[in-house]
Structure 1
């Protein structure tokens, strides 16, 4: 079996391509040689058969120095296809064996397990002390990743709820930006699932800039319905983005930040603009650089929105 394991893991190709780039760079030559296809095939046969004894023998032969950064003649990260298979199939004994190496396979294994919905693997990590709410290298939590699928509007509900039931926090966020798992949910999840997350599992409408993020749903994808369920639960209607959040404001100190009405206006979403005005959005509020939602719309040449914002009172209830 070769390095091409797309059927096994959609995440593996990216890692293996990066590995190949590193191998041709002068800085990586001391790491070891690429693992020959024939040897990798032996490893894959062992892990596919869930044959731990054979895997141990292969590791002892080709990667014997387990406590060292460079455990053998070959680059230890060449074992990523083995890690991928084990993570995706809940082969925790094999993962436990691979994790004895200095190389950090765990982050890759976590992502692959999430992608495959491999709960046995994730439960194994939890039992080993994994912090399910850690901020990951992509600057979001594991649960936020689960709510950020490649195909919008189709998060894996079962996996999301499993993560929550095992301690994942819908409101956890990195210190530098107000971005939570709920921020992702309002962009992708069906309205009924968003309600469930808010009402049953503690999603907080006062964190994560939810109204702003709901506007990033695909056009026609229940944008106003989602905004309405957020407003009815107390989401701040007239607050400029990141107001009161020092970390976020510092990160975006050069940006012009507005209210949800500003965002709907600049996006040209006339339906959302009318809805926000009907709920009490204040069109006179200025962004952090002193511009109204009307000025944002005029500057963006949003011709469908400009007339609405020039006569906002007619849309109020």
Structure 2
């Protein structure tokens, strides 16, 4: 039995979010209304066709209700009304159906990104493989300014994140852990050091080409949740040569242009301002330079004082600061 719209939205938080936005636009729009909601009875027929892998039935429904579906406003209903159909097909690897839904070269990339994200959430590799065979570039920078692999390595539903098997599958199919936005130095490795377990980070670095000189890795590692193997991650990054005494985005003109008003410091500055005493001590033991100033001329000690991190201030003022 095909699921209802409510059941579909319960399966996919992304679908729930998108459909709420579609409905809001339909309610708020006036003379430029994007069209009425697709009647539930018609949507049920679409979902039933997808559940049955019946491409002929789907094609007939598309021809009847979305005769000009390659256009932005195809007749009565907007294409976004088909997001539940796309979601169900993507999450269940219904490639025959996806071929019909993504039949035209003019397909909206937003639709594809939505389907890919839903497939990622459901672990549907057949769907992702379909998009790859259709020419999808996983390494392109998406509208949220990160790559698809970075999304896979980002925080999702604790404690099931990230999915090691999926991450390595993506890399084996062409995802680049070092791909970055032209605007800001943020890579998939930036996300890995924030969210992934040390074992996966080691694999990415040692077996799959992850680099430590892109992505501001030490700065990002300091954003790990408390008790989440921070010292171990810092240690493996430093052991592989991650920059220790450089301010964030140093030498990266593109990134600096986007942070002209920010005060950017070294990893020691960040650890000090966050009050992460053990991280501060670890950085000091590895040679962190306390005399380096941030882009606005502040030392790590001054950052700690400004943030009222008394425990770190005591460490940075101590003559034994380098001792663990």
Class of the TM-score when normalised by the shorter of the 2 chains:
over 0.9
**2:69–2:79: 8 Å Cα contact kept in structure 1?**
no
Q: What's the CA shift string for 1:252-302, capped at 9, x where partnerless?
A: 011100000000000000000001000000001100000100000011110
**Which residue in the other structure is 2:5 paired with?**
3
Query: Are 1:268 and 2:270 counterparts?
Result: no
Q: State the 1:106 CA deviation.
A: 1.2
Matched, 1:203 2:210: yes
1:236-255 to structure 2, matched below 5 A, reads 236-255=243-262
Within the candidate set 184, 189, 192, 1:177 is matched to 184
Residue of structure 2 in register with 1:113 after alignment: 119
* 1:107 Cα deviation from its structure 2 partner: 1.6
**Deviation of the 1:103 alpha carbon:** 5.6
Alignment partner, residue 24 of structure 1: 27
Distance in 2 of aligned mates of 1:152 and 1:173: 26
Deviations 1:196-226 (A, max 9, x none): 1101111111110001111111111111111
92-101 vs 131-140, which moves further: 92-101
- Give distance in 2, aligned partners of 1:36 and 1:103: 23
**Does residue 191 in structure 1 map to residue 198 in structure 2?**
yes
The SS at the match of 2:37 is coil
Distance of 2:31 and 2:245 partners within structure 1: 53
* Residue number in structure 1 paired with 2:230: 223
Q: Report the aligned-residue RMSD.
A: 1.7
Shift of 1:173: 0.4
Q: So what's the TM-score if we normalise by structure 2?
A: 0.93
Q: CA deviation at 1:70?
A: 2.5
Partner of residue 148, structure 1: 154
Check the 8 A contact 1:283/1:312 in 2, yes or no: no
Q: Give runs of aligned pairs for residues 45-194 of structure 1, distance below 5 A.
A: 45-100=48-103, 104=108, 105-151=111-157, 154-194=161-201
Distance 1:247 1:12, change over 3 A: same
Q: Unmatched 5+ residue regions in structure 2?
A: none
- Secondary structure of the 1:282 match is coil
How many pairs does the alignment contain? 317
- Flag structure 1 segments of 5+ consecutive residues without an equivalent: none
Q: Report deviation, 1:245.
A: 0.4
1:258 matched residue in structure 2: 265
